[in-house]
Amino acid sequence: MSKTRVFQLAKELGLQSQALVQALGLLGIEGVTPASPVDEETANAVRELLAEQLAKAQEIAQAEVTAEVPAESETVAPGPEEATLEVAEGEVAAEEVRPEAPESLVPEPTEAEEKEAEPERVLPRRPSYFDQDMLRLERQLDLLAGEIQPSAETGPRASLRELIQRPKGARPKQAVEVPPVVTVLGHVDHGKTTLLDSIRHTQVTASEDGGITQHIGASEVEYKGKRIVFLDTPGHEAFTQLRARGAQVTDIAVLIVAANDGVMPQTLEALNHAKAAGVPIIVAINKVDLPDANPDRVRQQLADHGLIPEAWGGNTVMVEISALQGTGIEDLLDMILVVAEMEELWADPTAAFTGVVVEALVDSSRGPVVTVLTRSGTLRVGDVLLCGTGYGRVRRINDWRGRAIDEVGPGRAVEIIGLNEVPEAGAIVERIDSIRDARRIAEQRRQAEQQEEREHLARQRVADVYAELTSQSRKVLRAIIKADVWGSAEALVDAIHRLAGTTDELDVDILHMGVGDVSESDVSLAVASDASIIAFRVGVPTAIRQIADDEGVTIQEYQVIYEALEAIQRELEGMLEPIYHEDRIGRAEVLQVFSVRGFQSVAGCRITEGRLQRGAILVVRRGREEVFRGTIDSLRHFDRAVQQIEAPNECGVGSNAWNDWRPGDILEAWVRTETRPTLKTQEANHSARS
């Protein structure tokens, strides 16, 4: 028997989804949500029960509308006093000299009419009500308010989601439906990329180093005649910012959880990002084909964190899939379309163009290449764009498969070529009327950033001086980050700061973060600041490498995120001061004192506990007092020099710095061990390999 979802039935009946849910509750059908399916028998019963009520409501509404519209014969023609009069300069307005009508012709208004008319009587503001001083003060206040009003460029910026959020309210006639932007979130190795491969029939996993998605990818698929835009976010913990950004620009979040592993740390992190963004969440329980799969355990774990499955009376859609086998994929796509239809996503193609940068990189032949999600308006080749401190004229637009297109409407994932610099991921893209205006605004933003950077450096210098004066200066790792894309660079910087933040002894100073191959300016900056260069998935030209070698600059090259983090962690740990521990290894009692060549006196001892060894720290106690602390320089057993000797043997002990031995003294032997401290991270490298 076919089934209809509640929101579809509500649309058919002309009702709001929540109103129909309430109506179903009154009919005894409890625990349904707008996405819940109802069988055809129930749907027909609802149609029959509500049809008569809807018809009566429409009749009553039509009668009220008819009663409010006066008949044509009752319409009063405007009197001559209602006509617009032109008043010549210096003349008095006609309504100011109009003679008053006789009282008999003007009916006295009732009290109710006076109250009803009260809000309509607005007292005009005229200069005669104020003296000149008050007017002058008022003008000065207005000017001052205008001067201190924050401009659009320098004022507080709205959040990313506020700037590119979907429009709400009544749709204009030119509005079009847009595909949902779906972000796939979840723990590493739970099958995000494999799921997208299964959906779009590509093989991204095979080209990834170490099996980890290194940065966000955007793609489009068409299912049942409708498009869906997918964002893939990395699962490794270093890519926290990318997952957060993916959740901000998305319309629907698909939280993928492996049925054999269950909820993991990055699963909860992704869940929190989706909740913070306020987007609908669909759970894809993956790997249900494995022998140790336990989907019910996953449901229980998610229920403990607030995601109650529909089958348990909640409102969270959960679909069992096997991304590797391709089972359950169509069910997941069906639910994405259902949720998207409930969200009623639309955009205005005639509005001002806006988009958001998903990723950006530098191509050796094409220059800056920017992946953009278009949000509103239409972009065409030749348009002028402004993005952060970058601008340019659009030379080429590619769809997600790399095919050139002339224009693109809202709700698409495209590559744009033509900007003069690589923008940061998450930056807002907007269309500007002219290249001159775009250049001017970009320059203003660049100057504002430079001023902010100068102020930051000044504050940093003050902090450094204060730290030195208070003997609290910490060891600083100075680095320059160059990566293939902005997302990878941000992830590395964030991970380095988190590593250094686990101890009070270290600090990190990222002097520069950029995209593209290592350049000569990077080496020059490293020389001037005594910094190293971290190159992640980018090239180092031979000439630049030679300059770095000549200048003594270290360039660390990596291809996989966890390898880079392990090396950086080792470098940071090497900067920490070692920790020394002293452990007592033995005790002995002095029985007699005698002379030996080379020493004024030697203690003849019996070892009562543990062992004595040459070179160990020697502590001599006389009663409760410590009388000497030094080292064991000589250790003999009868006439033989030994390295160490254990209880209960007797031996001779000598120290170059102590000769005042007395019978009854207690000797203690201690050894000092050095431990290299480690940085405690939250399963960083374990997560990368799992």
Instruction: Give the chain's mean pLDDT.
Output: 75
Residue 92 has pLDDT above 50, yes or no: no
Establish whether domains 176-346 and 474-575 are of one fold: yes
Does position 69 have pLDDT exceeding 70, yes or no? no
Asked if pLDDT for residue 472 goes beyond 60, the answer is no
Domain range annotation of the chain: 3-68, 176-346, 354-443, 474-575, 579-675
Kindly indicate the confidence band of residue 604, based on its pLDDT and cuts at 50, 70 and 90. very high
Look at residue 245 in the predicted model and tell me its pLDDT: 56
Token pair 């006609």 in the structure block, residue: 94
Rg (CA), the chain: 39
Nearest-angstrom CA–CA distance, 229 and 233? 13
What is the identity of the amino acid at 265?
P
Q: What is the pLDDT of residue 598?
A: 59
Say what the pLDDT of residue 681 is: 58
The pLDDT of residue 448 is 87
CA proximity to 583, closest of 551, 559, 619, 549: 619
pLDDT category, 395, cuts 50, 70, 90? very high
pLDDT higher for 497 or 159?
497
**What is the predicted pLDDT for the residue at 392?**
93
Q: Residue written as tokens 């030379």? A: 395
pLDDT of amino acid 203? 41
pTM over 0.85? The answer is no
Whole-angstrom CA distances from 547 to 203, 501, 554 are 39, 33, 11
Nearest to 414, CA basis, from 394, 434, 432 = 394
Q: Name the CATH topology of 354-443.
A: Elongation Factor Tu (Ef-tu); domain 3 (2.40.30)
Residue 79, pLDDT > 70, answer no
pLDDT computed for residue 234 by the predictor: 55
pLDDT at residue 684 in the model: 40
3-68 to CATH, choices 1.10.10.2480, 3.40.50.2300, 1.20.272.10, 2.40.40.20: 1.10.10.2480
Helices (H) and strands (E) in the chain, counts: 18, 32
Report the pLDDT value the prediction gives residue 166, as an integer from 0 to 100: 72
User: What value does the mean pLDDT take over residues 370-399?
Assistant: 90
Are the C-beta atoms of 407 and 378 separated by less than 8 Å? yes
pLDDT-derived band at 299, boundaries 50, 70, 90: very high
Q: What are 507's two structure tokens?
A: 């600090």
Taking the CA atoms of residue 437, residue 442, residue 443 and residue 445 in that order, the dihedral angle to the nearest 10 degrees is: 130
Is omega for the bond preceding 648 within 30 degrees of 0, making it cis?
yes
Which helix (H) or strand (E) covers residue 430, if one does?
strand 428-432
| Number of other CB atoms surrounding residue 472 within 10 Å | 9
Confidence check: pLDDT of 457 > 70: no
Question: In degrees, to the nearest 5, what angle opens at C-alpha 89 toward C-alphas 83 and 94?
Answer: 35
Averaged pLDDT for residues 502-510:
79
Per residue in 258-269, pLDDT tens? 998 888 877 887
**Cβ count near 19 (within 10 Å):** 11
Q: Which two tokens stand for residue 320?
A: 């069992």
The pLDDT of residue 127 is above 60: no
Average the pLDDT over 366-376 and give the result.
Answer: 87
* pLDDT in the model for residue 102: 40
Question: What are the residue ranges of helices labelled H in 278-313?
Answer: 295-304
CATH 1.20.210.10 fits 579-675, yes or no: no
| Distance from C-alpha of 545 to C-alpha of 170, rounded to nearest angstrom | 60
Q: In the predicted model, what is the mean pLDDT of residues 458-473?
A: 57
User: CA-CA distance, 288 to 230, in Å (whole number)?
Assistant: 23
Report helix, strand or coil for 157. coil
For 648-687, the three-class secondary structure string (H helix, E strand, C coil) is CCEEEEEECCECCCCCCCEEEEEEEEEECCCCCCCCHHHH
Q: For residue range 175-209, what is the model confidence (pLDDT) as tens digits?
A: 888 888 888 888 877 888 788 888 876 444 444 45
One-letter amino acid for residue 417 of the chain: I
Q: At what angle do helices 240-248 and 486-500 cross, to 10 degrees?
A: 130
Residue 454 pLDDT class (50, 70, 90 cuts): confident
The residue-averaged pLDDT of 603-611 equals 92
* Residue 220, token pair as written in the block: 């489009």
Among 309, 192, 313, residue whose Cα is nearest residue 257 = 192
The whole-angstrom separation of Cα 232 and Cα 230 is 6
DSSP summary character for residue 613:
E
Q: Which residue has the tokens 């819940």?
A: 36
Q: How many residues are recorded in the chain?
A: 690
**Confidence at residue 469, expressed as pLDDT on a 0 to 100 scale:** 52
Q: Domain 474-575 belongs to what topology?
A: Rossmann fold (3.40.50)
Residues 6 or more apart from 230 whose CB is under 8 A from it?
182, 183, 184, 196, 199, 200, 218, 219, 220, 221
Query: DSSP secondary structure string, 449-498?
Result: HHHHHHHHHHHHHHHHHHHHHTT---EEEEEEEEESBHHHHHHHHHHHHH
CA distances from 391 to 80, 394, 437, 438 (A): 60, 9, 10, 6
Average pLDDT over residues 544-568: 87
Confidence (pLDDT) at 489: 85
Reported as half-sphere exposure (CB side, CA atoms, 13 A), residue 540 has a value of 22
Q: Fold for domain 176-346? A: Rossmann fold (3.40.50)
Say yes or no to pLDDT of 90 above 60. no
Per mean pLDDT, which of 468-482, 503-517, 587-601, 658-672 is the most reliable? 658-672
Distance CA 184, CA 585 (A): 58
